[in-house]
Structures are given as C-alpha cells and as structure tokens.
Amino acid sequence: MKCPFCGFEDTKVIDSRPADGKKRRRRECTSCSKRFTTYESVEMPLFFVTKRDNTIEIFDRDKLIRGLTSAVKKRPVDIESINRIADSVESYYASQMKTEITTEEIGEIALKALKEIDSVAYVRFASVYKDFGDVESFISIISELKEKDSIQGILEA
C-alpha cells in the first residue's frame, strides 16, 4: 500500500476491523510515520445478463434495486431488506462462479425473497417481471398467495 503523504511503498497495518461489509485498516507509513485509513472490500466478478430479447448487458445492481424499490413503494419494507435481496442475487452467482445469467434467473430469486417479505410487493414485482397482460394473470398469482396463506394457517394451528 502506497503512503498518500510521501508515496513510500511500504506501510504496516496497525489496526484492522470490520466496517459496513468492508475491512477498515489503520495503517502507518514506515518512512514518514504518518497514519491513514484504508477500506478493503471483496471485488465481485462482472456478471453478464441475457435479456428477453437476447441482448447482453452488464449486471446493474442499481437497476435491480430500483425495480425492487418500486415494488415496495408505500409498503412496510425497509431499505435493508432490498439491499439483502440484491446481495443475495450477487452472492449466489458469485458462489456458483457463474458470469452469465438471465433476467429470468434474477427475477426468480427476487420474487422468492419478496414473497417472504411482502405479498403486495411480490405481486407488483411479478406483474412487471412476468409481463402480465391480462387480469387473469393477476388473479392466478393472488390465488397462489391465498393458497399459501391457507396452508400456512393450517400448519401453524
């Protein structure tokens, strides 16, 4: 690590601790003895997303977060939940060592997570992701949610 003050190439780590998903390191230059802080984070691999029209683009985490945010608009869902969903998509594909994914795969993971968090957000996201074109599509997915709630009630009793 290069010292930002004198440019010397050798520094030593004085303190290291986790901070916001990163490593915070307090360093000292072995030449000028000045101290500075650095943050380390794991570099995620680039993911290429194949869209429905077969075009390919680089995975954009912010685009996923915007879609999830619009689905949870005016719902009791916090931003941490949205970030956890985006994190789970990224970490899932990073752990699979997969660099080419489809919008369908991303949508399925997001839908599964939203289904556990908020059913209204789930229906909103599904309507865009699955491209609902008629009322029957909405009725079908809502019926599926009702069945899940009925089964859940029976299991909890």
User: What pLDDT digit, counting tens, does each position of 69-97 carry?
Assistant: 999 998 899 999 999 999 888 888 888 88
Beta-sheet strands, E only, within the chain: 11-19, 22-29, 35-40, 48-50, 56-58, 100-102
Q: How many domains does the chain have?
A: 2
| Beta strands 22-29; 35-40: pairing state | antiparallel
Q: Does 31 share its domain with 89?
A: no
* Residue 115 and residue 80 share a domain: yes
- Domain of 32, in residue numbers: 11-40
Q: Quick one: 26 and 58 in the same domain?
A: no
Exposed (0-12), middle (13-18) or buried (19+): which is 135, by Cβ within 10 Å?
exposed
In a domain? residue 5:
no
Query: CA 61, CA 83: separation in Å to the nearest integer?
Result: 9
Same structural domain, 59 and 123 = yes
Q: Residue 127's pLDDT is what? A: 81
Task: Clarify whether residues 111 and 70 are in a common domain.
Answer: yes
pLDDT value at residue 8: 94
Same domain membership, residue 58 and residue 29 = no
